[in-house]
A and B are shown apart, each in its own frame.
Chain A
């Protein structure tokens, strides 16, 4: 490629138009951004005060979810623990135990910990979960004052995760079946 170098006029060679042009542009931006006076204000986001709204489908921190009947959906299969590349997840399974209030899932985990300092937000846990119990949600800026604080336990994860609107509701059907069987006296 050949870049043509046009011959500059005398005025251009004196840098005067360049100086004036530079001054105009900088003055325009300066006055636009000046506090209290400027019309536009800064283009940058004033981070801790203003926060970025993440787009739909954003993969932030993974949290556990409950279904509509307030069941913990996780069944302690430990697939996510196994697949997790940075080994951020630790699950303590208690064995079969049913929550008397909602007729819970089988093998509700006793403890489910995600070390958010290790988590890389890769989304493999969400991908691998057979129960749709863990989702990468919108949080991207997690802070804490100690390492221990950054290990999120099951209660915190469920609270942050909220409710997932489950269309299949497998465990509700299982509960209804069990109730029906109990009623027929089998």
Chain B
């Protein structure tokens, strides 16, 4: 500890941030693995099946087996691809999803004064939107580099889809910032820490509409059903990752699920009070190590709920047609989000 105190503040910050990054990754990677598992089990139950139940007790070691399998498979590069971009694309698809977690407050404190967020940026949400829009490049690049028609179509679809919904997504959260008056995600959680009706989803009709548009946009951004145009098994074989195999394919998969978790984390942070829970004083920053852990647990629990929603919706709705998707994004949600901003402004003006 003394050694730590002797270091310059810059080094201290670096070391603390590095510890947090390792901690977040140590939780995030198993979460990704087990959300794949959860997806398979829940899907199976909805389809009257059982799902993977062979590896370990209740099939709980299935993710390990899947990972091992990906490593052992042949990493095949087709002759007709652009090799450099082909190799680069899976990494680009995965990295933005992980970067999003840098600004998300995943807990209050662990008893001390250190906030449980890797980078407490005061433009946190802008950073998130900036990073999330990068994730489209992985897919577009994969589609382009594969040099084959189905991945190409998948890449084109995804670029159009993600760009359209990004706008609706950005517009949708503006009413929340109008209520809170800050772009910092920690402040947004602070503003929601009162009662259940301080949670942005329930605070007012406008913020509920924001939540709804944001939720749909997150589905579109993460390429989940009913908006999984870039993959679209029935039409495009596997879309942008048709030409990939082995660990490179697994990286796309990893990135997709990391993006889902990041999306859930964003929804939870912005609309559902982050790590707070309006009972038993859990809405205040923790004073002990254990309650700090409990806050992190609450946050993960809320994320798990939204992951379940995402998995569930996959079986509820048929896939949208491409033009319907575009129509919904540009002609329904964008005007709705803009009107929502205006309504919020009027509401706030009248309230004051």
Between A33, A34, A43, A46, the greatest number of chain B beta carbons within 10 A of the residue's beta carbon is seen for: A33
Interface 9-residue window, one of A22-30, A61-69, A77-85:
A22-30
- Size of the A side of the interface (Cβ < 8 Å), in residues, is 17
Residues of chain A contacted by B47 (CB below 8 angstroms): 29
* Residue among A22, A23, A32, A46 making CB contact with B48, cutoff 8 Å: A32
Q: How far is the CA of A29 from the CA of B46 in the complex (A)?
A: 5
**B49:A33 contact, CB within 8 angstroms:** yes
Q: Is A19 at the interface (CB under 8 A from chain B)?
A: yes
A42 at the A/B interface (Cβ < 8 Å)? yes
Question: Which residues of chain A have C-beta atoms less than 8 A from B49's C-beta?
Answer: 33, 42-44
Residue from the list A22, A33, A43, A46 in contact with B316, Cβ < 8 A: A22
The 10 A-B pairs with the shortest beta carbon distances in the complex, nearest first, are A22-B316, A43-B48, A33-B45, A42-B50, A26-B46, A26-B315, A30-B45, A33-B48, A44-B49, A30-B46
Shortest B114–chain A CB gap in Å is 41
Interface centre among A15, A34, A46, by most chain B C-beta atoms within 10 angstroms, is: A15
Q: Which residues of B contact A (CB under 8 A)?
A: 42, 44-50, 312, 315-317
How far, in whole Å, are A15 and B332 apart by their CA atoms in the complex? 13
Contact A29 B48 (CB under 8 A): yes
Beta-carbon contact of B45 and A34 below 8 Å: yes
17 A–B contacts from the bound complex (CB under 8 Å): A18-B317, A22-B315, A22-B316, A29-B45, A29-B46, A29-B47, A29-B48, A32-B48, A33-B44, A33-B46, A42-B44, A42-B48, A42-B49, A42-B50, A44-B48, A44-B49, A44-B50
What's the least CB distance linking B251 to chain A, in Å? 30
User: Which residues in B have their C-beta under 8 angstroms from that of A34?
Assistant: 45
Q: Which residue of B lies closest to A22 (CB)?
A: B316
A contact residues around B48 at 8 Å (CB): 29, 32-33, 40, 42-44
Minimum CB–CB distance for B44 against chain A, Å: 8
State A42–B49 Cα separation when bound (angstroms): 5
Minimum distance in angstroms from A27 CB to a CB of chain B? 9
- Judged by DSSP, the binding face of A is helix
B312: chain A residues within 8 A (beta carbon)? 23, 26
> Which chain A residues numbered 1 to 56 have a C-beta less than 8 Å away from chain B?
15, 18-19, 22-23, 25-26, 29-30, 32-34, 40, 42-44, 46
Residues of B with C-beta under 8 A to A40: 48
Chain B contacts for A44, CB-based, 8 A: 48-50
Q: Measured between alpha carbons, how far is A73 from B46 in the docked complex, in Å?
A: 53
Q: Which listed residue, B45, B315, B317, touches A19 by the CB 8 Å rule?
A: B317
CA distance A15 to B45 in the complex (A): 25
User: A23, B316: Cβ atoms under 8 Å?
Assistant: yes
Chain A positions within 8 Å of B, measured between CB atoms, are: 15, 18-19, 22-23, 25-26, 29-30, 32-34, 40, 42-44, 46
The docked-state distance in angstroms from the alpha carbon of A123 to that of B50 is: 36
A44 to B47, CA, bound (A): 10
Q: How far is the CB of A43 from chain B (nearest CB, A)?
A: 4
CB proximity of A71 to chain B, nearest CB, Å: 45
The chain A residue sitting closest to B328, CB to CB, is A15
Query: Measured between alpha carbons, how far is A22 from B319 in the docked complex, in Å?
Result: 13
Task: Give the residues in chain B near A43, CB-CB below 8 Å.
Answer: 48-49
- List the B residue with the shortest CB-CB distance to A15: B317
Please tell me if the beta carbons of A26 and B50 are within 8 angstroms of each other in the complex: no
CB pair A22–B42 under 8 Å, yes or no, is: no
Kindly list chain A residues whose C-beta atoms are within 8 Å of the C-beta of B42: 30
Bound together, the chains give a CA A103 to CA B137 distance in angstroms of: 82
Closest residue to A20 on the B side, CB-wise?
B316
CA distance A44 to B49 in the complex (A): 6
A183 and B19 alpha carbons, distance in the complex (Å)? 101
The answer on a CB contact under 8 Å between A22 and B317 is yes
Q: How distant is B49 from chain A, measured CB to nearest CB, in Å?
A: 5
Q: How far is the CA of A32 from the CA of B317 in the complex (A)?
A: 20
Residue of A26, A29, A43, A46 contacting most chain B CB atoms (<10 Å) = A26
Q: How far is the CA of A42 from the CA of B312 in the complex (A)?
A: 18
B116 to chain A, nearest CB (A): 34
A6 to B48, CA, bound (A): 33
Expressed in whole angstroms, the minimum distance between the Cβ of A25 and any Cβ of chain B is 8
Residues of B within 8 A of A42 (CB): 44, 48-50
- Considering only CB atoms, which chain A residue lies closest to B312 in the complex? A26
- State in angstroms the CA–CA spacing of A23 and B312 once bound together: 8
Residues of B with C-beta under 8 A to A30: 42, 45-46
CA distance in complex: A54, B47 (Å)? 26
Distance, CA A15 to CA B317, complexed state (A): 10
Q: How long is the Cα–Cα vector from A25 to B317 in the complex, in angstroms?
A: 11
CB distance from B348 to the nearest CB of A (A): 27
- Report the minimal beta-carbon distance from B106 to chain A, rounded to whole angstroms: 29
Closest CB in chain B relative to A11 CB, distance in Å: 15
Q: Which residues of B contact A19 (CB under 8 A)?
A: 316-317
Q: Considering the chains assembled together, what is the distance between the CA atoms of A143 and B47 in angstroms? A: 30
Which residues from A are CB-within-8-Å of B45?
Answer: 29-30, 33-34
Write the nearest CB–CB distance from A15 to chain B, whole angstroms: 8
**In the assembly, what is the distance between CA of A18 and CA of B47, in Å?**
18
